[in-house]
Structure 1
Amino acid sequence: MSISGSSAGDSSANSVCFPESRDAEPGTPAIPGVGVPLVDLSVLRQLEEELGDSEVARSFAEDYISIWDKRITYLMRSLADNDPDAAMDAVLSLKNSAFMVGGSRLASLAVDLERILRNGDLPSAQARVSAIAEVGQATIQALQQCYLSPDE
Structure 2
Amino acid sequence: MTATAVLDPEVLQRLGTDVQNGDFAVSFARRYCSMLEARVQRIVGALLEGDLDAAMDAVLSLKVSSTTVGTCELAQLARAVEQQVRCCDIAAARQHAADLASAAGRAELALSDYLVTYAASRSN
TM-score computed with the length of structure 2 as normaliser: 0.90
Distance 1:34 1:133, change over 3 A: farther
Quick one: which amino acid aligns to residue 79 of structure 2?
V
Moved over 6 A (4+): none
1:148 to 2:115 alignment: yes
Q: For the residues of structure 1 that align with 2:97 and 2:89, how far apart are their CA atoms?
A: 13
5 Å matches for 1:49-128?
49-128=17-96
Percent pairwise identity: 34
Unaligned 5+ segments in structure 2 are none
Displacement of 1:128: 1.7
Which residue identity is paired with 2:74? L
- Unaligned 5+ residue runs, structure 1? 1-32
Write the distance in 1 (CA, Å) between the matches of 2:41 and 2:120. Answer: 32
**For the residues of structure 2 that align with 1:112 and 1:52, how far apart are their CA atoms?**
32
Residues 48 and 94 of structure 2 are in contact (CA less than 8 Å); yes or no, is this contact kept in structure 1? yes
One-letter amino acid of the counterpart of residue 53, structure 2: D
Compare 121-130 and 97-106 and name the one that shifted more: 121-130
Which letter does structure 2 place at the counterpart of 1:59?
Answer: S
Shift of 1:130: 2.0
Deviation at 1:36, TM superposition (A): 1.1
Q: When the two structures are superposed, what TM-score results if normalisation uses the length of structure 1?
A: 0.74
Is the 2:37–2:101 Cα contact (8 Å) retained in structure 1? Answer: no
Corresponding residue pairs, total: 119
Residues in 2 aligned to 1:82 and 1:92: alpha-carbon distance in whole angstroms: 17
> Which one-letter code corresponds to 1:77 in the other structure?
G
Aligned mates of 1:97, 1:50 — CA distance in 2: 16
Q: Which has the larger radius of gyration?
A: 1
**Superposition CA RMSD, Å:** 1.5
Deviations 1:34-78 (A, max 9, x none): 611111111110111112221111000000000112101111110
The alpha-carbon deviation at position 151 of structure 1 amounts to 3.4
